[in-house]
Every structure is written in C-alpha cells, then in structure tokens.
C-alpha cells in the first residue's frame, strides 16, 4: 500500500468514526473530515436539526473548518466523506474552494461527483476539484446498509428514510442503454415515449449537463442524475457508463438537440455498449438532416449525409470527394458564417445550375427553406447580407439526360 493510500485510509477511518457517532444518535451514518497538510481542520456528521431537516456531514465539516481556521475559503484542503456527496454538498465544496474530494461508497441515486468531474473537466471552470473514490468503500457502504436494514426492521425509528440509499445490483446481466432524441428547436417535438424513458432514467448522459438540465425542467418529472458525455470525455467515460449499467441503473443518453451520434456525441458510447453486450434501444425522433431533406423537395431516393465539412485543411478535397459523380443527394451541416463560401466551392465543383436547398431554424419560428440553383441561392443570401442559425445544405444529385 502506498503512503498516499495509507493517508487516505487513515482519514477515511476518522470519517467512519464520525459516521458511527451519527448512528448512535439515530442519524444516517455519514461522516466527513477536512484535512490540510496532515492537520484536521474540521469534522462533521449528518445531523437532524429542527423540523426534521438533515444537515449533511460535508456542510457541518466545512463550517467547522471555516470556524477553526478563520478563513472564508479552504484552498489546499482535502475533504474525506464516507458517501459520494450530493449535488447540494458539491456546491458547498466548490464554493469553499476545496482541492480534493475523497469519498468511500458510491451512491448512484443522489451522488453528484460526476458533476464535479464535469467542472474539473470544463475549460471555463477555473477552480479544479480532484476526486478520488472507493477509499474504504466496503466499510462505508456496509455501515449505511446495516443502518438502513435496522431502520426497516424498526429498531431505529426517528427521521430515517425507509428505503435503502444503495441501488441493489440486479442479476439481469447488463441492462439497456436508451438513446433518446430531443427537440431541435420546438420544445413540443418530444415523444410521449421519450418522456416516459427520461422520467424512468436514473442516469442521463448529456452533451452539456446545464443545457439538458434547462431543457428537462420544461417537461418536469425527470430526476435522473445528469452525467456529462461529450466528445472530449466520451472515450474515457465509457467504462463509467458500463459501471452504471452493471449497478442496475436505468441509463439514457441525449445530446444537446436531435439524435445522439448524428453529428453529435454518442457513437463511442453506443459502440462500447454493443461490445459489452448491453442492449441498445434507440427511440425514433427529431433529426435536422432528415427533416431538411424531406422539406428540400430534392430526391430522397439515394442520399449521402456527411455532417459538417472540415473548416480548413482538406476542405476542397473533401468537397470533391462527397460531390464526385453526383450519384446521390448530398446533405451536410454548415455554420451560417461559412455557408456563402460553401456555395461558392460547390458551384466551382458542380456548376452554378445544380439545384440546392438551404434549410435553417428548423421547427422554430423563423424556419426557412431557400430553394433554387446554387447561383440563385447564393445571390439571395448575399442580397440579405448573410444568414442566421445553423444551416442544413442539401445538394441535388446530377441528373444526366
């Protein structure tokens, strides 16, 4: 065992002592210790206060450490807690500018360390929290399980939730990943089935947890833990996703808008699940490119969807490649700032008379389809001084007489 591990276990034992003290007082056994340079600055355990409100161990310990040091924030400290902190405590930990969180047992229903990882990963977040999990996990978990087992048989009776906080491991192998499309603009474009799946989810993989959190507030009744799963962490996150599933969690995945894995994150997660034998269930729903293709009036008989063109390197070669031969209707996404340049490039390859369509603001108030030849559409855009909103560009196949 390394010195670091030994130190972690030493302080986690102190946190466990706090947790046992809480139990003796009939409270949920969660304990917390805050340490800086080997010195304990504050300890705490769950406390039931007036009106039956529980003060969480982390909050109690943070307040004790602030009182002890006289400092308003606690940089350079490590917080040990026997169970993965909840969202509220994560907020307090971040505000206190604590550097490292070490927790024992994972609690998939209320635990929020995934969010801490998000903040840690997030380039805009200046304060970084390092999270270490699983220190004395067995001891921390069994203390909680024993407490709630006793609570259920009625030996401990006051202010105790009747349900155990740990999701029991189901023996039904590996579960299902639900892939759920979300609206591309109009909030009403969500299916009854999608809402049912989202409301049943324990864990929801999101491209951006804040964005999805705001979206889901509009529908209500969705209480899943939001876990970030974007292009920068998707590969590493796959193991976490499989662990959520193995622990019996109901896992769903969304992207910011539309169908996950279509010019959005999700592909790597789906592959990892298929490889691990997890059932992947995809709900049908909104996707900008299918919507735009149908609205374009161009043939959908043979279609090549290519996502976003490369911005710089290889752009010309890439365009030649996708438009080569003109055997299919080509659908791509483009930013409104580059769409005029794209049309110029397309005209140079297929000529100015090829029919195209640009669809933008789909399903929103200012939804619009610009249809015509490449030259017509380019002229129309130039005349109004550019476009706004993400564009779907549909380029007709070559029709040989």
Where does this chain bind Zn ion (CB under 5 A)?
A: 56, 86, 89
* 395: Cβ contacts below 8 Å, ≥ 6 apart: 323, 329, 330, 331, 332, 346, 350, 354, 355, 356
Nearer to Zn ion, 112 or 331 (CB): 112
For the residues of 284-337, what is the DSSP string, one character each?
----HHHHHHHHHTS--SSEEEEESPPSSTTHHHHHHHHHGGG-SEEEEEE-TT
Tokens of 39: 């010195």
For the residues of 226-239, what is the DSSP string, one character each?
EEE--TTTHHHHHH
> Which one-letter DSSP state was computed for residue 247?
T
- Alpha-carbon span 119 to 382, nearest angstrom: 42
Pick the catalytic residue: 27, 58, 107, 390? 58
Shortest Å distance, C-beta 98 to Zn ion = 14
Tokens of 182: 């979300």
Shortest Å distance, C-beta 183 to Zn ion = 33
H/E element holding 372? strand 368-373
Torsion (CA) 307, 263, 394, 306 in degrees, nearest 10:
30
Nearer to Zn ion, 84 or 247 (CB): 84
Nearer to Zn ion, 62 or 395 (CB): 62
* 55: Cβ contacts below 8 Å, ≥ 6 apart: 46, 47, 48, 49
Shortest Å distance, C-beta 24 to Zn ion = 20
Among the listed residues 314, 296, 307, 279, the one whose alpha carbon sits nearest the alpha carbon of residue 395: 296
Tokens of 251: 């896992």
Nearer to Zn ion, 64 or 347 (CB): 64
Shortest Å distance, C-beta 88 to Zn ion = 5
Nearer to Zn ion, 84 or 396 (CB): 84
Shortest Å distance, C-beta 43 to Zn ion = 15
Shortest Å distance, C-beta 83 to Zn ion = 9
Three-state secondary structure call for residue 264: coil
Task: Measure CA 275 to chain center.
Answer: 21
Nearer to Zn ion, 84 or 345 (CB): 84
Beta strands in 6-152 (DSSP E): 31-36, 39-45, 47-48, 54-55, 78-83, 100-105, 130-133
Nearer to Zn ion, 86 or 96 (CB): 86
Q: Do residues 381 and 355 make contact, with C-beta atoms less than 8 angstroms apart? A: no
Residue length, the chain?
401
Shortest Å distance, C-beta 61 to Zn ion = 11
Shortest Å distance, C-beta 63 to Zn ion = 13
340 is catalytic: no
* Bridge partners (DSSP) listed for residue 332: 307, 393
Nearer to Zn ion, 110 or 176 (CB): 110
> Which one-letter DSSP state was computed for residue 56?
P
- Catalytic residues, by residue number, are 58
């Amino acid at each position: 065992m390394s010195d670091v591990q030994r130190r972690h276990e030493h302080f986690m034992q102190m946190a466990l002592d706090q947790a046992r003290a809480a139990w003796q007082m009939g409270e949920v056994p969660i304990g917390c210790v805050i340490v800086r340079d080997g010195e304990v600055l504050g300890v705490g355990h769950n406390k039931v206060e007036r009106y039956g409100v529980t003060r969480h161990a982390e909050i109690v310990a943070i307040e004790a450490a602030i009182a002890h040091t006289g400092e308003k924030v606690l940089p350079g400290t490590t917080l040990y807690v026997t169970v993965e902190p909840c969202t509220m405590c994560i907020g307090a930990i971040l505000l206190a500018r604590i550097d490292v969180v070490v927790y024992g047992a994972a609690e998939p229903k209320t635990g929020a360390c995934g969010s801490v990882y998000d903040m840690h990963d997030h380039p805009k977040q200046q304060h970084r929290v390092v999270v270490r999990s699983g220190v004395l996990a067995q001891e921390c978990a069994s203390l909680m399980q024993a407490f709630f087992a006793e609570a259920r048989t009625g030996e401990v009776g006051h202010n105790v939730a009747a349900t155990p906080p740990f999701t029991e491991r189901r023996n039904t192998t590996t579960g299902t990943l639900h892939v759920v499309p979300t609206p591309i603009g109009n909030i009403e474009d969500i299916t009854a089935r999608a809402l049912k799946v989202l409301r049943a989810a324990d864990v929801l993989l999101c491209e951006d947890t804040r964005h999805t959190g705001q979206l889901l507030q509009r529908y209500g009744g969705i209480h899943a833990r939001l876990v970030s799963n974007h292009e920068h962490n998707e590969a590493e996150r796959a193991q976490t996703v499989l662990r959520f599933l193995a622990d019996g969690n109901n896992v769903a995945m969304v992207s910011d808008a539309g169908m996950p894995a279509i010019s959005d994150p999700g592909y790597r997660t789906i592959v990892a699940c298929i490889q691990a034998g997890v059932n992947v269930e995809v709900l049908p729903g909104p996707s900008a490119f299918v919507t735009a293709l149908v609205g374009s009036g161009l043939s959908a008989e043979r279609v090549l969807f290519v996502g976003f063109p490369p911005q710089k390197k290889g752009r010309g070669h890439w365009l030649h490649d996708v438009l080569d031969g003109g055997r299919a209707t080509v659908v791509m996404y483009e930013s409104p700032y580059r769409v005029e340049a794209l049309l110029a490039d397309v005209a140079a390859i297929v000529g100015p008379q090829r029919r195209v369509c640009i669809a933008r603001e789909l399903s929103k108030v200012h939804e619009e389809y610009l249809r015509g030849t490449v030259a017509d559409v380019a002229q129309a855009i130039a005349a109004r001084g550019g476009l706004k909103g993400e564009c779907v560009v549909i380029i007709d196949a070559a029709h040989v007489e």
